[in-house]
Structure 1
């Protein structure tokens, strides 16, 4: 067998041809009900953010921070007193993956090659690599690498700019490397005496993209006679599917081994699989454990689930049994399309919308069906908003996320009547809620597990197809009262990773590929945890396929991208192109009316195009994709989500009504004048070429003004700006206005403990509610009447505030 051979550079690697034909030759079935996407080949390649949600989660072992310096090693036969690591220290080299296999024939590594030294690639199918006093042991294959003095190819630098200065090492062009990619891999350098001087594992996304990029079917496909499964897992050594009769059965009714062709594993089963459940069993090398692991994972293209995502449901979304009455006609019944620059959006959390609404029947509270009850207090409120000019409802995450049990009977919640017993300024309410925060039914939802399935806890039954039908009914009901639907999508990170986490999916199937890793090989966590890597071809494809799925199968009307700046600009542009190509006649939706916007913050490892051109504020002009305008938010409210909570702004007393934190000094007067300039630019859609007379009497462009050291204005057209003052970023708008305003009165105490400082505020009770409402009205009038850009509203009530009649738009001129 090939893995039992020890090969040097002069020996040809034994080629094992695949005996399995391509998936398309193993049976006929109809294509999925969506347009064909042509994916280009993979080689074609701040300002203050909102405060991030805290996700209570222990970091997996393989994402912990390790020393960043390379571990040098040498054999004990000739060891200097300066470099004498123990065998255990040398073994730790394999915990790191500092080398990158970037193309079929090129490996990049920031290593020093000593004089006449050499470099080798080692592979072990059984993950038996180890170090001893005699050097690297346990390999099945050893291949000599030759340094390329010309450095890395331009296409590699374009795709991986953060390793542009790495050395390039080449493999023989005739080498069949595909079998090697299923092994534990390491590279090592040796000095002229044969002593090992450095060693490390490898990161594989580059070579996987080059050799295994795939645009064929994935997930479960249904025909009149059969069900076919396709899974992209090029590094897996074996894949089986376990079929279960229901979502809770202990033992599978059958286990089937999938066949592989060029990285795609597939099988074909009977029509009777529909309504059953399945999980994949993937045998694959996992770098976090340095072992061949048997991982159990849901289908990344799952369209249905059992409760708590234990198993994937075989479900055909095209079935008439899953369509509410009139579903296929919904595209012709949607509210009139508005110019994107006139859209007004109201943000909602599905559970919050009706959890305490006693006009909603108990079984529907906090779920999808609450939006279908025409006589409920919540729906009456939405109708008023629609009549006032609100055009879109933005739903906080609705996909399957972690942190809330899908089975409501397992929740442990604090009763509202209990909370009412405490004084308004008591700390007891928070203490009681904190005690059950991991067991109650509330979570914002920014803990993605599977992107393509509605969250089970919002459905009346989390098993089976109930969540699919009820989600569709919700979209249909909102459309019928004049409101289009925007989904909050979170493609920048995943909640789980590693081979054992029950919330891990993608990292079990192709370990080390879907998640972005640092130059030591450990998972980046700048978003909060487990950053994804849309610069990798099949990650980008999964994101685009998922957005296409929500648009076609659930007929939603827009997407708000969480931490959009951590995605690549290319991903966003391809998404826009694919969605805009959808037509009512062929796809059942008008893709030209789907609006895309998100958080364009530029930070972490992607800052300043560190991993490629990312979808940040300053990279988006000319795309028509919107990004949140934090400039007008900070100018209106004062400070930022990361600043002092008492910092006042333009509408709540800066300089004119100082609250004690701010004084009526020349500094505050200048801040007020500068805030006026920033608001004026924001009211003009934050256009970079907009000319205004600033506070010094000069005529300047909006792009000349600065905010936290960067230009205030960046948009090239109004659709690229999302003006807002509050969007689930820390305190509610009412609270932050109350906190900053002089009229409310407060006692401020700074409590210093160790190296940390916490601030306590005690408000005068009762609060002057009417004063706060006046501030809210002023804030929203500033946005509504002034902005030619898109408006985002995220407040519990807007009183009787009306929106101007929106311009109706034809098929041109978004």
Structure 2
């Protein structure tokens, strides 16, 4: 590569002084202001890469508040220009300093990143102008939200209606055929696996694999370049905005899975890309000379430092204000709350700053409430307005349907909103899920007892062994009709429990169509057909898709199945029925003995459609159907006596039987007995 040292004529006093704010390289129509922060750096060069790959270095001579800055007139740093920084300073690893002027560094505030043919990443100047037209966020209430966790590439890579050149891209996700699937399914928000610019770990390249999930961010402002169909010189930014606008027009919110807990630089033996070369001692938590690792990824971003916290907050506000996203799911969220000594502080600067921020406090905020460090498991402890991934819902529901629960108390708590965990908040604090990107798919959850991860080239050591799964009688693929019938029933059991439980349901893309990863429960490195959603459906998959649509329609159409407040187990208006009542298979209300009997495997929840705490748009009381949800986890068939409806109706109408997806809408009288097939759900309605 050709280097052009200090090509600017110092007599012309170029670059101009510029401003220390805003950080990054920002084009204003006449030129670009350049500002990069480094507390311990001693000298910073702006390095511009010309189209012939010659690198032109421009020293940033001005420094204010730890920010090196300057202003470059148009022509050299116009939109589409590629650049980076070289930072000189001490090499004192024992003090945390790892400066190396020989490394071209990314701009931590870069709005776009391009990967060069030699694999290096360079920052790209972007024209921020964009006509959003009448774009508006759907602002779906938490009570009405259904989250769909999806991968930009994996969702559309095999979609037959998406043009080849758009598959696996932001434009592909915005294709009308994909939007039609999402809206007809009944979800309200798409939660995208990481779209911040990310890199693959070197060890994956040595194995012939790549980081597919993207939990290895290196650019907190830049949409990942590989998901762009139209170019990587800033076109990825416009394409991402087009995607958001299309999703909004279809009534769908956009939630980003964000990884601020660590960066793609990994441990000190991995390549320096950005933060380590800018000021390692500040950007990362450290234990002496070593970087602290509370994430299992080699480093932990030090969000307790004011400058690093500003970086995270600036990034979040950018994605809301400039990219119009509607919320965030924070990977390993406790890591962001750790103080200088490494302790988790849920009243510390990170959560406090977000709570008082006028932009961020009103978007959807979801915590993955655990990390891998000491004291890092914090389910139920995040403050309002945060929601949380509820792994106790996942574990409790899986255990009940695989026959590993001790009675019905646990499943009752999870079905009714997990008030034992979130009782001081609201039910929407619980983001309920049975599967996620990490772990078995729904189809694999009922088809495998053990993980099958040899394709990851780690000799099966990776991925959890605590899957709480059950293969229904055969490991993996089988032609046994009895096993296949049971698996189909179990899929419906898990889905209906998830989608009709109180709280915010989150589905994983493809589960509605029986997607399999062939027993791989850690497919983070599988950018191939193993991970991509397969849209070529057989009869059983089409049936499951139709069942999912009908179940979600039932949820969205009935206020009793979308509770805004926790149940109290008492009448909410004089002479009315209890808001929720629990019954045995014999039609009696549960007593203490029933709740604490570990042999109990059947529970029925009657959820009243009469409520004075959920009102219509003009304040009117809402009165809807009452539902009876019968969950029978036993292996043998069971006769269930139907209790009183608690409404004016004297009969129940069957609307779901997971043992017979084609069951007619038959009416049953109060006190009549109905058969619950072993391991099945019955849902009945009284109007």
When normalised by structure 1's length, the TM-score is: 0.54
**Matching residue of 2:150:** 348
Q: Does 1:730 align with 2:439?
A: yes
Give distance in 1, aligned partners of 2:221 and 2:141: 28
Q: Match of 1:255, SS?
A: strand
Give distance in 2, aligned partners of 1:262 and 1:256: 17
Judge conservation of contact 1:726–1:795 (CA < 8 Å) in 2. no
Q: Does 1:765 align with 2:478?
A: yes
1:314 to 125, 135, 150: 125
Q: Match of 2:428, SS?
A: helix
Q: Match of 1:243, SS?
A: strand
Within 5 Å, give how 1:356-371 maps onto structure 2: 356-371=158-173
**Matching residue of 2:42:** 237
Q: Does 1:784 align with 2:586?
A: no
Q: Which is higher, the Rg of structure 1 or of structure 2?
A: 1
Judge conservation of contact 2:46–2:86 (CA < 8 Å) in 1. yes
**Greater CA deviation, 451-460 or 282-291?**
282-291
Judge conservation of contact 2:267–2:298 (CA < 8 Å) in 1. no
Deviations 1:704-729 (A, max 9, x none): xxxxxxxx556522232111111122
- Cα distance change on mapping 1:327 and 1:713 into 2, 3 Å: closer
Q: Does 1:617 align with 2:345?
A: no
Query: How many angstroms does 1:682 deviate by?
Result: 2.2
Q: Does 1:274 align with 2:274?
A: no
Judge conservation of contact 2:140–2:253 (CA < 8 Å) in 1. no
Q: Match of 2:440, SS?
A: coil
Query: How many angstroms does 1:738 deviate by?
Result: 2.1
**Matching residue of 1:794:** 508
- Cα distance change on mapping 1:541 and 1:442 into 2, 3 Å: closer
Deviations 1:264-311 (A, max 9, x none): 110111022212121111002233387763142111100012226621
Give distance in 2, aligned partners of 1:436 and 1:225: 42
Deviations 1:596-653 (A, max 9, x none): 0021015414548xxxxxxx334314x220111111211111xxxxxxxxxxx21133
Give distance in 2, aligned partners of 1:763 and 1:370: 32
1:805 to 538, 543, 556: 556
Judge conservation of contact 1:624–1:717 (CA < 8 Å) in 2. no
Q: Does 1:384 align with 2:197?
A: no
1:577 to 336, 351, 356: 356
Query: How many angstroms does 1:501 deviate by?
Result: 4.9
**Matching residue of 2:28:** 223
Query: How many angstroms does 1:797 deviate by?
Result: 4.1
Q: Match of 1:250, SS?
A: coil
Judge conservation of contact 1:287–1:512 (CA < 8 Å) in 2. no
1:397 to 189, 194, 206: 194
Give distance in 2, aligned partners of 1:482 and 1:284: 50
Within 5 Å, give how 1:425-464 maps onto structure 2: 439=208, 443-464=212-233
Give distance in 2, aligned partners of 1:466 and 1:221: 16
**Greater CA deviation, 518-527 or 455-464?**
518-527
Judge conservation of contact 2:17–2:62 (CA < 8 Å) in 1. no
Give distance in 1, aligned partners of 2:616 and 2:362: 10
Mark the runs of 5 or more structure 1 residues left unpaired by the alignment.
1-24, 29-213, 406-433, 583-590, 609-615, 638-648, 655-670, 688-701, 703-711, 742-750
**Matching residue of 1:629:** 390
1:473 to 232, 242, 254: 242
- Cα distance change on mapping 1:253 and 1:398 into 2, 3 Å: same
Q: Match of 2:488, SS?
A: helix
Higher relative contact order by CA 8 Å / sep ≥ 6: 1 or 2? 1
Judge conservation of contact 1:497–1:505 (CA < 8 Å) in 2. no
Query: How many angstroms does 1:786 deviate by?
Result: 2.7
Q: Match of 1:723, SS?
A: strand
Query: How many angstroms does 1:526 deviate by?
Result: 3.7
Q: Match of 1:504, SS?
A: coil
Query: How many angstroms does 1:556 deviate by?
Result: 0.6
Query: How many angstroms does 1:220 deviate by?
Result: 1.9
Give distance in 2, aligned partners of 1:355 and 1:442: 16
Q: Match of 1:485, SS?
A: strand
Query: How many angstroms does 1:545 deviate by?
Result: 0.5
Paired residues, what number? 476
Query: How many angstroms does 1:736 deviate by?
Result: 1.5
**Matching residue of 2:54:** 251
Judge conservation of contact 2:266–2:298 (CA < 8 Å) in 1. no
Deviations 1:358-399 (A, max 9, x none): 32211111111112321x3x44322312xx3x1101111111
**Matching residue of 2:640:** none
Query: How many angstroms does 1:439 deviate by?
Result: 4.7
Query: How many angstroms does 1:525 deviate by?
Result: 5.0
Give distance in 2, aligned partners of 1:470 and 1:298: 22
2:401 to 651, 663, 668: 651
Give distance in 1, aligned partners of 2:493 and 2:267: 49
Judge conservation of contact 1:597–1:625 (CA < 8 Å) in 2. yes
Judge conservation of contact 1:499–1:508 (CA < 8 Å) in 2. no
Judge conservation of contact 1:715–1:721 (CA < 8 Å) in 2. no
Judge conservation of contact 2:267–2:299 (CA < 8 Å) in 1. no
Q: Match of 1:472, SS?
A: helix
- Cα distance change on mapping 1:260 and 1:349 into 2, 3 Å: same
- Cα distance change on mapping 1:456 and 1:400 into 2, 3 Å: same
- Cα distance change on mapping 1:527 and 1:356 into 2, 3 Å: same
Query: How many angstroms does 1:455 deviate by?
Result: 0.8
Judge conservation of contact 1:752–1:758 (CA < 8 Å) in 2. no
Give distance in 1, aligned partners of 2:460 and 2:441: 26
**Matching residue of 1:56:** none
- Cα distance change on mapping 1:306 and 1:684 into 2, 3 Å: same
Judge conservation of contact 1:354–1:370 (CA < 8 Å) in 2. yes
Give distance in 1, aligned partners of 2:100 and 2:422: 51
Q: Does 1:297 align with 2:119?
A: no
Q: Match of 1:347, SS?
A: strand
When normalised by structure 2's length, the TM-score is: 0.63
- Cα distance change on mapping 1:752 and 1:489 into 2, 3 Å: closer
Judge conservation of contact 1:218–1:232 (CA < 8 Å) in 2. yes
**Matching residue of 1:643:** none
Mark the runs of 5 or more structure 2 residues left unpaired by the alignment.
1-15, 338-345, 451-458, 513-544, 560-614, 620-687
Q: Match of 1:726, SS?
A: coil
Query: How many angstroms does 1:498 deviate by?
Result: 7.4
- Cα distance change on mapping 1:344 and 1:811 into 2, 3 Å: farther
**Matching residue of 1:672:** 406
- Cα distance change on mapping 1:635 and 1:617 into 2, 3 Å: closer
- Cα distance change on mapping 1:717 and 1:402 into 2, 3 Å: same
Q: Match of 1:229, SS?
A: strand
**Matching residue of 1:530:** 299
Judge conservation of contact 1:489–1:561 (CA < 8 Å) in 2. yes
Within 5 Å, give how 1:92-131 maps onto structure 2: none
**Matching residue of 1:507:** 276
Give distance in 2, aligned partners of 1:328 and 1:529: 43
How large is the Cα RMSD of the aligned pairs? 3.5
Query: How many angstroms does 1:491 deviate by?
Result: 0.6
Within 5 Å, give how 1:7-18 maps onto structure 2: none
Give distance in 2, aligned partners of 1:451 and 1:758: 33
